Amino acid sequence: MVDLNPAPTANIAERKRQLVRNELAEAAVTLLADQGFEETTVDQIVAAVGMSRRTFSRYFQSKEDVVVHMLAGAGAQMCAELRARPDDEPPAPALRHALSVFTSLCDADPDKPLHVSRLILNTPALLARFLERQAQCQAEMAGILARRAGADPDADLRPALAAGVALTAFHTALCRWVDSDGAKAMTELVDQAFAMITPALDLSTDPN
């Protein structure tokens, strides 16, 4: 039977665009991690995948945007994981599970995440974009936590604080992981951090 709904065609086109975007991002991240941010040019990135600079410009405005694309994808996955957790699950394990999007990737194949994380943390322009994305992710996570707790995100500070504390714990663990050159498991570091902050993530107590 023929499907007369045009949406699948649009979805196929979008998937094709996403594949091209991902291919460019993969090449860029590999080169940036191997050569460094300043030493890598857009021409080198497009040459690595056999595309034109014009094609690159259709998907990204700059090298920084490639990293933002990668961070946005990871952040969206993390928020999706948090949104999918059972409503009666306490915030600490729900947030910790959401962060497994990052920790599992770091521990399963640490070389590239380690190089990319070091690149981001040591490149001011990339670190600024990373922190910008983290702030956006915190706001989205706060909204999810507020919904789960039946709280008003505009009046109740707890959801935003819980999201901020969780992301700060992750950021601290990430810095320690990079400093150790991956000698310590990222999962273990985040677990240690969450063991310390779990009481601060409790949203069950009425602040009033």
Using one digit for the tens of pLDDT, what is the confidence trace for 144-163? 999 998 999 888 999 999 99
What would the pLDDT profile of 4-18 be if each residue is shown by its tens digit?
344 455 588 888 888
Residue whose entry in the numeric block shows the structure tokens 């094709």: 16
CA pair distance 200, 125, nearest whole angstrom: 32
Q: Can you list the pairs that 192-195 forms with residues at least 24 positions away whose Cβ atoms lie under 8 Å?
A: 193/169, 194/92, 194/95, 194/96, 194/166, 194/169
For residue 2, name the pLDDT band (cuts at 50, 70, 90). Answer: very low
**Crossing angle, helix 7-35 and helix 111-122, to 10 degrees?**
80
**Where is pLDDT greater, at 179 or 101?**
179
CA pair distance 149, 204, nearest whole angstrom: 8
Average per-residue pLDDT in the chain?
Answer: 86
| % of the chain beyond a pLDDT of 90 | 38
CA distances from 204 to 8, 9, 142, 175, 193 (A): 43, 46, 15, 31, 21
pLDDT value at residue 9: 53
What would the pLDDT profile of 48-57 be if each residue is shown by its tens digit?
989 889 989 9
For residue 12, what are its two tokens? Answer: 């196929």
Out of 79-88, 107-116, 160-169, which region has the weakest mean confidence (pLDDT)?
A: 107-116
The answer on pLDDT for 36 being more than 70 is yes
Q: Note the pTM of the prediction, 2 decimals.
A: 0.80
pLDDT value at residue 17: 84
pLDDT value at residue 180: 94
Out of 3.30.70.890, 1.10.260.40, 1.10.357.10, 3.30.70.1140, select the CATH number for domain 62-201: 1.10.357.10
Radius of gyration of the chain (CA): 19
Residue spans per domain, the chain: 1-60, 62-201
pLDDT, average across residues 129-134: 88
**At 58, is the secondary structure helix, strand, or coil?**
helix
Fold of 1-60: Arc Repressor Mutant, subunit A (1.10.10)
pLDDT value at residue 206: 55
